[in-house]
Amino acid sequence: MRKGFYIVFVSIFCLFQTTVYAQQKPNIIYILADDLGYGDLSCYGQEKINTPNLDKLASQGMQFMQHYAGAPVCAPSRSSLMSGQHTGHTSIRGNATEKGMEEGQVPMSGKTITLAEVLKQAGYKTGAFGKWGLGYIGSEGDANSQGFDEFFGYNCQAVAHRYYPDHLWHNRDKVMLEGNDWKHTVTYAADVIHDKALQFISDNKEKPFFMYYPTTLPHAELIVPDDAIFKAEREKFGNERPYVGKKKGDGADYGEKLVIKEYTKQKYPHATFAAMVIRLDQHVGEIMAKLKELGIEKNTIIMFSSDNGPHDEGGADPDFFNSNGDLKGIKRDVYEGGIREPMIVQWPAQIKAGSKTNNVTAFWDVMPTLAEVAQVKTPKESDGISFLPTLIGKKQKQHDFLYWEFHEKNSSQAVRLGQWKGIRQNITNSKNAPIELYDLSTDVGEEKNIATVHPDIVAKIAKIMNDSHIENDRFQFDYENSK
């Protein structure tokens, strides 16, 4: 009921806007990397991989130095981005596959008002290209049900482990990929998705559009085409210790015994990972070039971030690449390394080129920011604060706190409260598990737990953790030993 009322209200509001005014609205492209760490871009300190196009994007726009993902894993992070809510409120809080479904995850609630719906009602053509993972095809959570006019890519995040699947999805139609049959690796899915995204830009150059581009790069499996990019990286890194899978005969390799959710063996894991990041960077460069070719680059906002911290799966080696920079933790950790992400925003003539900000922001801030850009109301359910003032150099309202909850690894919660970071782990064993406390102003690596020194701060964080969690039937903290 609430969702329908919002859409009708905004539709009436938008009728009062002239066509000329609507055309002046900026196009919006949001690029979401998959498992890219805070330190995986050269503009964020990466020394082993060059990312010239993303560096250029940063030099022409603004880098966010304290930007946070919605969660330390895929689905809840994306749910947070789409809903404008933190994981204590958003409907998807874990990577859960729908029971009885061969392909696809638990659906995002149909009551959710998504970022795409907000912008669609503001007159934007909406498209999503990449990995969805928020509801199986035909469900209330699939991309077409959640405000996207066009979707092309992977519906299921398990299938998205594979870069040579036999099919992708165009809206609700299955598209078979030439030469791919789970035995042969002919058509690289990330490239096909990228081409469709470029076509969407060309097709909608005359009208305001929102393109959500959740690429699968550089998520495991580690595999790339045997092209010039890979050859150059293989020569640079030389002989390596190969990744041979979790165990012999585990279904990793393409062939008769393939298990889709596993990761292929890889003889050159370092070179392959580097080549995947470089391919991502080139795809970003091609998007930038397409906008310039069409003459719309000055009226297009490009946002770039990642869904969670770096992974160590399928042969990936975040220690070798220093993928989390100075931060502690990786994917599936609520320490900084699992949730703090690179964030770059370019908006010519609006954002000061080469600027950086320490404004603390999170995924749930993207919705109110883009709603303000589009001059429409933000749904009242959103937990976010628009960071448009930061982008255009004006005074910025700050969060009272940021909150995360995570439903794997015995469950955990985290709170950012100004300079303080509180973490409660092993909640499954006890809802009163002790809270770790870190002062990020002096200890960004979260090395020194000072909870006993500041019991007053710990008490405030404990209250925030209690108040921020709304019960969810599908994602619950199971307090086994609590009284």
Whether residue 35 sits in one domain with residue 133: yes
Q: Band of the pLDDT at 249, cuts 50, 70, 90?
A: low
Q: Band of the pLDDT at 89, cuts 50, 70, 90?
A: very high
Whether residue 412 sits in one domain with residue 282: no
Q: Does residue 272 contact residue 224 with C-beta atoms inside 8 Å? A: yes
Whether residue 245 sits in one domain with residue 176: yes
What gap in Å lies between CA 335 and CA 370, rounded to an integer?
A: 28
Polymer length of the chain: 483
Q: In the chain, what percentage of residues exceed pLDDT 90?
A: 88
Residue 127 forms part of a structural domain: yes
* 159 pLDDT higher than 80: yes
* 14 pLDDT higher than 50: no
Whether residue 378 sits in one domain with residue 425: no
* 68 pLDDT higher than 90: yes
- For residue 335 the two structure tokens come to 């320490």
Using CB atoms within 10 A of its CB, is residue 98 exposed (0-12), middle (13-18) or buried (19+)?
middle
* 84 pLDDT higher than 50: yes
> Mean pLDDT across the chain, nearest whole number?
94
* 11 pLDDT higher than 80: no
| pLDDT on residue 236 | 96
| pLDDT on residue 9 | 52
Q: What is the CATH classification number for the domain harbouring 432?
A: 3.30.1120.10
Whether residue 371 sits in one domain with residue 445: no
Whether residue 171 sits in one domain with residue 67: yes
Whether residue 281 sits in one domain with residue 429: no
What gap in Å lies between CA 26 and CA 24, rounded to an integer?
A: 6
Whether residue 154 sits in one domain with residue 217: yes
Residue 483 forms part of a structural domain: no
**Which secondary-structure segment (H or E) carries 326?**
none
Whether residue 368 sits in one domain with residue 409: no
Q: Which residues contact 35 (CB under 8 A, 6 or more apart)?
A: 218, 219, 220, 306, 307, 308, 309, 310, 311, 316, 331
Show the CA angle centred on residue 176, arms to residues 172 and 178, nearest 5°. 155
Give the mean model confidence (pLDDT) for residues 119-138. Answer: 97
Q: Report which residue type is found at 14.
A: C
Q: Choose one of 379, 399, 419: the last residue of a domain.
A: 399
Residue 480 forms part of a structural domain: no
Domain hosting residue 134, numbered range: 2-399
Q: Give the number of domains in the chain.
A: 2
Q: Does residue 91 contact residue 108 with C-beta atoms inside 8 Å? A: yes
What gap in Å lies between CA 14 and CA 17, rounded to an integer?
A: 5
Q: Cis omega (within 30 of 0) on the bond before 218? A: yes
Whether residue 272 sits in one domain with residue 166: yes
Residue 104 forms part of a structural domain: yes
Residue 45 forms part of a structural domain: yes
Whether residue 426 sits in one domain with residue 370: no
Taking phi over 0 as left and psi of -120 to 50 as alpha, with beta for the rest, 446 belongs to left
Residue 416 forms part of a structural domain: yes
| pLDDT on residue 479 | 67
User: What torsion do the CA atoms of 244, 249, 252, 255 make, to the nearest 10 degrees?
Assistant: 130
Give the mean model confidence (pLDDT) for residues 385-401. Answer: 98
* 17 pLDDT higher than 80: no
The model's pLDDT over 347-356, given as tens digits with 9 standing for 90+, comes to 998 999 999 9
Q: Does residue 392 contact residue 350 with C-beta atoms inside 8 Å? A: yes
Whether residue 455 sits in one domain with residue 392: no
Q: Does residue 221 contact residue 316 with C-beta atoms inside 8 Å? A: no
* 421 pLDDT higher than 70: yes
Listed in order, strand segments (DSSP E) in 177-293 are 209-213
Residue 234 forms part of a structural domain: yes
Q: Which residues contact 73 (CB under 8 A, 6 or more apart)?
A: 94, 95, 308, 331, 332, 406, 408
Q: Which residues contact 482 (CB under 8 A, 6 or more apart)?
A: 430, 431, 432
The model's pLDDT over 176-223, given as tens digits with 9 standing for 90+, comes to 999 999 999 999 999 999 999 999 999 999 999 999 999 999 999 999
* 250 pLDDT higher than 90: no
Q: Choose one of 399, 418, 435: the last residue of a domain.
A: 399
Q: Which residues contact 18 (CB under 8 A, 6 or more apart)?
A: none
Q: Choose one of 399, 417, 450: the last residue of a domain.
A: 399
The model's pLDDT over 422-480, given as tens digits with 9 standing for 90+, comes to 999 999 988 889 999 999 999 999 999 999 999 999 999 999 999 999 999 889 887 65
Identify the weakest region by mean pLDDT among 9-18, 72-81, 119-128, 354-363. 9-18
Q: What is the CATH classification number for the domain harbouring 149?
A: 3.40.720.10
- For residue 198 the two structure tokens come to 């470029």
What gap in Å lies between CA 401 and CA 413, rounded to an integer?
A: 13
**CB atoms near residue 477 (< 10 Å):** 18
| pLDDT on residue 20 | 35
Name residue 176's beta-bridge partners: 167
Residue 474 forms part of a structural domain: no
Q: Report which residue type is found at 75.
A: A
